[in-house]
Structure 1
Amino acid sequence: MGLFDALVKKKSEPSVAERMAAAYDAADRGDYETALSIWTPLAHAGVARAANNIGACFSEGLGVARDAKLAERWLGLAAEGGDSVGQRNLASLYFKGEGVAQDNARALALYRAAAAQGDGPAQDMLSWMLLESDAVTPDYLEARRWAEAAAAQGIAPAMTRLGMIFHNALGVERDAAQAAQWWQRGATRGDADAQAMLGAAYHLGMGVARDAMAAMTWLLRARAGGSPLAPRFFDVVRATLSPADMAEAERRAALPLESAQDSSA
């Protein structure tokens, strides 16, 4: 083979990015066998995100039988390679303890590593662990910092958590208005617990003006979304509304959430 032929062959070989894109296209079609056939040699070549994707397939049983040990192995390679998604997925494996020994300390360390790289879901989960996990010493200031980082990336549960931080005065002065603002942001992004708390805020006049119609509208959305917080307030608020008002609240609750961006409900 001449030098020119070698250069042409080298130029025609797809890049890592192109091969990863082809694998993602296959996965989107449900063809995980093809996706895995692309990711496997890339992972062996040191592409950490490919190793994560293989681990995720073993974790979820996508194109292969579920195998927690193989998921742990591949996700471990991804995490060691510095892949933030791999670190987060491995953290989730240890946090849940499904098929592997539960290890909250390792989960926390991995979430920290991924969060430090800017991974929004890891920032959200790290915030939750620092605030609510029984296995971790609470750190309200750090929990708020990571919740704010996740919220800045549009993660609705982090916004809801910030509302609870200001509502319950966890490391901050109690601020009902700030709490309501965060619940509003989470609620309009579809978080059912934020919708429930915003409904309660409108019912009680916490940080917002009392508004039974807005309260019921948000509680209806929260109940439809499965929030366990909604039933605490639902019947009390419904008792304050006439049948016509209740019908109007149901009409508003059925509207797309986009309609709530610029209004109370």
Structure 2
Amino acid sequence: MVELGIGVEASFDKARVLYLAAADKGSAKAMNRLGLMHYRGEGVLQDYAAAQELICEAAGKGDADAAFNCAGLFAEGRGVDKDPAKARAWYEKAAAENNIGALNALGFIWRDGLGVEKDPVKAADYFGRAAALGNPVALFELGAMYEAGLGLPPDLMKAHVHYNLAAARQHPGGTEALARVTAGLSAEDVTRAQAEAKAWRVAQ
């Protein structure tokens, strides 16, 4: 609240002191936030090693956002040696808590074979889980997999549904992809696909 100025005067310095106090008491969320400050150089010197220590300690305490961030550090080689296997392991921990970023990251890892043998079926499963939560990136990628028949049976109607949902959530490629598959469907199929998109609901 102090950092964002909610109900009090905003003060980054005071917020940082509070985060430090919370981190000293073992707060994983405070550790993760302090780690991000070091990663970005927000009010402190940019220090990838300090960022990695704080973020991955928070991840070890079970914080899903920290696990996602820790995975990114291993994937990029920031503060640690690049290690795709460790990155994937942390992404999987975050994905187990339905962290959308981690679900999408694993979708791309398995689709593109980033440190693993390509497995489009696994990719579709991860994208499907993130899409069910309403994420536009996952909705678009799942649409692309239905359109190409990659990891899923080819189905232009389902591609239309997912592109439509992605476009409605302002995915930059959604409108163009929607127009492309619309051109390949009958008017009746487009109407059915639109009805399915209208009836779609985010998973609870």
Q: Which TM class, normalised by the smaller chain length?
A: 0.7 to 0.9
Q: Which residue of 2 aligns with 1:216?
A: 160
Q: Which residue of 2 aligns with 1:191?
A: 135
The structural deviation recorded for 1:101 is 4.0
Does the 8 Å contact 2:77/2:83 carry over to 1?
no
TM-score, with normalisation over the residues of structure 2? 0.88
Q: Which residue of 2 aligns with 1:240?
A: 184
Matched, 1:167 2:111: yes
Letter in 2 for 1:59: E
Higher RCO (CA < 8 A, seq sep 6+): 2
Task: Give matches, 1:136-175, under 5 Å.
Answer: 138-175=82-119
What do residues 38-81 of structure 1 show as CA deviations (whole Å, max 9, x unaligned)? xxxxxxxxxxxxxxxxxxx2211122222111122211121222
Q: Which residue of 1 aligns with 2:59?
A: 115
Mapped partners of 1:146, 1:223: distance in 2:
30
Task: Give matches, 1:35-74, under 5 Å.
Answer: 57-74=1-18
Superposed structure 1 runs of 4+ greater than 6 Å apart: 133-136
Structure 2's unaligned 5+ residue stretches are none
Letter in 1 for 2:143: G
What do residues 20-46 of structure 1 show as CA deviations (whole Å, max 9, x unaligned)? xxxxxxxxxxxxxxxxxxxxxxxxxxx
Structure 1's unaligned 5+ residue stretches are 1-56
Does the 8 Å contact 1:72/1:93 carry over to 2?
no
CA spacing shift, 1:107–1:225, aligned 2, 3 Å: farther
Mapped partners of 1:99, 1:132: distance in 2:
23
* Greater Rg by CA: 1
What do residues 132-171 of structure 1 show as CA deviations (whole Å, max 9, x unaligned)? 5878753211111011101111222211111100011111
Mapped partners of 1:94, 1:192: distance in 2:
29
TM-score, with normalisation over the residues of structure 1? 0.69
